[in-house]
Structure 1
Amino acid sequence: MSILSVIILAIIQGLAELLPVSSSAHVVVAEKLMGLDPSSPQMTLLLVMLHTGTMFAVIVYFWKTWKKVYFSSTSSFIRIVVYLGCATALTGIVGIALKNILEKTIFRGAEKAEIEQLFSHLELIAPALAAAGILILIAGLMERRIKKAGYTRILADEEATLTLRQALWMGLVQGIALPFRGFSRSGATISTGMLTGAAKEPAERFSFAMAVLITPAVIAAELVRLLKAVHASAASSAPIDLHASLLTGALGAVFSFIAGLLALKWLSRWLESGHWYLFGIYCLIASAVVFYLHTRGF
């Protein structure tokens, strides 16, 4: 894979990851159009490294706000640790359960079945995009109706916090998003927070805090998968170059970090301006495009 291809994928990932439109779906489609295999160990590791770049973008962008809200007092810090711990534990339980169910049903009887093998199936990504779009659209329209009615609640309160119930719902939905490319993690979790009564700003902060916490585990899982593939390919005519894969991933992470910072600034402005529902419309349109590409043989 050329350096230009890595840069293009990194920019797509960085711009889309932190917007509620499913970066994975966009990257997978781009890889398909480039003639690459999104389900290969090298490409899934690259995707995770791109996520690493955006993870650092999240930390840089939100650090001042997190410090103000989450580290302002001992009680605030304890509360966010408990909320993140409980939400992430629920994410793990739901995500692993779904992974096992899918591998034992869709891949029943197949050798070396892995959930990553689904990542290149556009016919599955299209409905996942549509589902995320509907969820975002409902949350966005509900927000507009609340504002029209003049019921402000804590919608403009930057220091508003979530309840444990809202955090758990967001963690559960994040677990559902893990195995499905196209079901936007950020879009689904922020919308879930909004639909359970949270203000947009704390839902956004918590969603990206969950992403930072879960990313290292995902990186480790994909690195293990790549190492197994490297070992299995050692005796074949086309061995996998581990060092080249890691170098490619590092390069992608740098570019996705830069693009991610730009995307975060845009996302925050759109959240504040009440245009959340438009991301839902975009996901529905993207779903139709992805399904069309599937019918064309991609």
Structure 2
Amino acid sequence: MEVIKAIIVGIVQGLTEFLPVSSSGHIVIAQEILGLKYEEDQNLMFAIILHFATALSTIVVFRKDILEIIKGLFQFKWNEQTQFSLKIILSMIPAVIVGLFLKDTLEELFSNLRLVGFMLLITATLLYIADKAKSTGKDISYKDSIIIGLAQAVAALLPGISRSGSTISTSIILSDDKAKAARFSFLMVLPLIIGAAAKEYLDASKAEAALTFDILPLACGFLAAFISGLFACKWMIEFVKKAKLKYFSIYCSIVGVFVILYTFLK
């Protein structure tokens, strides 16, 4: 039964990772509905593993872009790939600081369902504001990459704040091109997710939690997230580029209100 629940949560992660609706918030909601309960530190570990699975699916879909960036870096020239990589690095700094210094807070927050509901309402508000903003089609600047990175750091700290929603919305509010914003948003998170997953396994303080974790549900959840993410990534990214953000805003509002009412009535 735990395996089936983990697979369902994995599918939810794979489908919601590429939409601006907070995959981490949906993981918490799905676990609550299915009764898939873990300790606080295990909840965070489970979420990281599922995010790592969709990061791998993103790498598969964006493999050509990633290879071009790597090739450009090894040319040791101040080219477009080098500049893009520097912007990615700048955008990562705020989230790295959050991960290093607020890890205990993250574990506690990733078990708070009511917080997820309220944060989904904030996501809805941000998406609505971004939907009204005008995109000028300009490239993402170095300053923009830092501001977008701050938005990602907030999303990393608060489940229910959509990472892609906050980064894409912030970029659009800054008048950046929507298609470029989506591409930047999905690529900027890859090093962070891979690094977080690696640190989770290497962190000695988590050794006991890892040993007590049933590996089968974890592995099944990982595979479900990877496969569903692999199939969903490409067409969902195109959907995000073309769709109006207000529809995602409405969805997040409905889910947020439902979750808040559920926590008060259960």
Superposed CA RMSD in Å reads: 2.6
Q: CA deviation at 1:123?
A: 1.8
Matched, 1:18 2:42: no
Over 3 Å counting, the alpha-carbon distance change for 1:4 and 1:219 in structure 2 is: same
**Residue deviations 1:212-239 (CA, integer Å, cap 9, x gap):** 01012221343356x63553x8xxxxx9
| Letter aligned with residue 112 of structure 2 | H
Q: What TM-score do you get using the length of structure 1 for normalisation?
A: 0.78
Q: CA deviation at 1:69?
A: 7.3
Give the 3-state SS of the residue equivalent to 1:20 in structure 2: coil
How do 1:97-136 residues align onto structure 2 when only pairs under 5 Å count? 99=102, 114-136=105-127
Unaligned runs of 5+ in 2: none
Q: CA deviation at 1:283?
A: 1.0
1:218 to 186, 196, 199: 196
Matched, 1:54 2:54: yes
**Residue deviations 1:238-260 (CA, integer Å, cap 9, x gap):** x9535x33x43333222111211
Give the 3-state SS of the residue equivalent to 2:227 in structure 1: helix
Matches of 1:78 and 1:213, distance apart in 2: 16
| Letter aligned with residue 264 of structure 1 | C
Contact 1:38 1:119 in 2 (8 A): no
Over 3 Å counting, the alpha-carbon distance change for 1:161 and 1:66 in structure 2 is: farther
Contact 1:133 1:281 in 2 (8 A): yes
Q: 1:256: which partner in 2? A: 225
Q: Higher helix proportion, which one?
A: 2
2:176 to 198, 208, 213: 198
Q: 1:3: which partner in 2? A: 3
Give the 3-state SS of the residue equivalent to 2:160 in structure 1: coil
Q: CA deviation at 1:294?
A: 0.7
Between the two proteins, the alignment pairs up a number of residues equal to: 262
Q: 2:95: which partner in 1? A: 91
1:290 to 255, 259, 265: 259
How do 1:29-48 residues align onto structure 2 when only pairs under 5 Å count? 29-48=29-48
- Considering only CA atoms, is the larger Rg found in Structure 1 or Structure 2? 1
Q: CA deviation at 1:68?
A: 5.7
| Letter aligned with residue 176 of structure 1 | V
Q: What TM-score do you get using the length of structure 2 for normalisation?
A: 0.87
Give the 3-state SS of the residue equivalent to 1:120 in structure 2: coil
Unaligned runs of 5+ in 1: 101-112, 147-152, 155-159, 234-238
Matches of 2:38 and 2:251, distance apart in 1: 23
